[in-house]
Structure 1
Amino acid sequence: MKKNALLFLFTALVFACSGSDDSNTNDVEVNLLLGTWIGEDVEYSGTTSFDYFGTTFETPFTGEAYDVDYTLTFTENPNEFTSEGSYSLEVTTNFLGETITENSEDLEFMGSGLWSQDGNQLITTESGVTTIFTIEELTETSLILSNTQTEEFTENDIDYTTTINIEMTFIKE
């Protein structure tokens, strides 16, 4: 009987000590997110598709940032984010074998609002709009966020669908 009691206590102790505490891991990741991050790069890719007289056209595009000059700051209690600065973007589209390049300058980066983290998801809310980013990388010095959005719009009686993939790279200030 004494051996069974000792075996039970030993087994209970082993299982109690071997469990992982996921909340500590999430706290560490959230703590890594806090502070000011300097924007290094923004890359876009995606497609725009539309039907024109029964024919579907799909145009791929890529975008590369330049003149990147923005920061993104995360605070806690309350969980708020703010961004300052801008970037410019060169977008290259291929349509019917023709390459078209357009530049957009001084684009505002994000804005400000509330944030939360759920695993590898960063959820931001700005002016009532919620956006979910995937945290691709989060270390003490590096942050990479990605997001995919699909937008539908009509222009000149033609319905368009655009899928935009974005990846943003930051370093810690």
Structure 2
Amino acid sequence: MKNLKLLTLIILSVMVFSCSDDDGPGEPTIEDTIVGKWQASEFLVDGEATGNIGGINVSVDIEGDVYDNTYAVEFRDNPNTVTSTGDFSIRFTASFLGQSYEEVVEDVQFIGTGSWQIIGNQLIITTSTEERTFDIQTINATTLRVFGQIIETIDVEGTTAEAVIDLDLTFTRI
């Protein structure tokens, strides 16, 4: 009887200690999910330019229309590198005091080559000339959607203004 109790205790101990809390692979991390090649599928671009004309502060809304899009980006790991290919063109329009202004920027190559990291829900891309931070809105096996801002000093017919451009970019895995 003593041997039977000992054998039962040994079997229970083996069963308890051999069971793992890991029920298989967990959900992939954002870092795992972002690795791969992504085609830009939607660009939402708008913003505001502010400046001073004749001592009066002015603000102008800006809208952007993206066309001729062949832009794609590839994220690799070990090391975390990013490379973009293709380009796009954008037509900016703004209205001020009944006047409509338009500027076309063609063959935009946005990121180029650099490194990437994710901190929380932020994607940080660093190139040799700049660092850009994007808030990750959506990431899954097929869709990557990020939001970011570009702040530029622009010249509008001899007047310097600061433009804050909001970017809402959606990519589809290819």
Question: Do they fold alike, i.e. is TM over 0.5?
Answer: yes
Q: Does 1:108 align with 2:109?
A: yes
Cα separation, partners in 2 of 1:154 and 1:86, compared to 1, 3 Å: closer
Q: Distance in 1 between matches of 2:95 and 2:158?
A: 22
Q: Normalized per residue, which structure has more strand?
A: 1
Distance in 2 (CA, whole Å) between partners of 1:155 and 1:38 is: 33
Deviations 1:113-142 (A, max 9, x none): 000001210001000421111111111101
SS at match of 2:32: helix
1:77-156 matches, cutoff 5 A: 77-152=78-153
1: distance between equivalents of 2:100 and 2:129?
A: 37
1:18-97 superposed matches below 5 A: 28-97=29-98
What is the CA distance between 1:72 and its match in structure 2?
0.4
Write the distance in 2 (CA, Å) between the matches of 1:155 and 1:89. Answer: 17
Instruction: Tell me the equivalent position of 1:6.
Output: none
Structure with bigger helix share is 1
Deviates more, 1:145-154 or 1:51-60: 145-154
Contact 1:85/1:109, CA 8 A, preserved across alignment: no
Q: Residues 127 and 74 (structure 1 numbering): CA distance in 2 closer, same or farther, change over 3 Å?
A: same
TM-score by structure 1 length? Answer: 0.78
Uncovered stretches (5+) of structure 1, i.e. residues with no partner? 1-16, 18-23
The alignment partner of 1:30 has SS state of helix
User: SS in structure 2 opposite 1:68?
Assistant: coil
Q: Give the aligned CA root-mean-square deviation in angstroms.
A: 2.1
Q: How big is the shift at 1:157?
A: 7.4
Is the contact made by 1:35 and 1:75 (CA closer than 8 Å) also made in structure 2?
yes
Count how many residue pairs are aligned between Structure 1 and Structure 2: 150
Cα displacement (A) at 1:169: 1.1
Residue 50 of structure 1 aligns to a residue whose secondary structure is strand
Select the structure of larger CA radius of gyration.
2
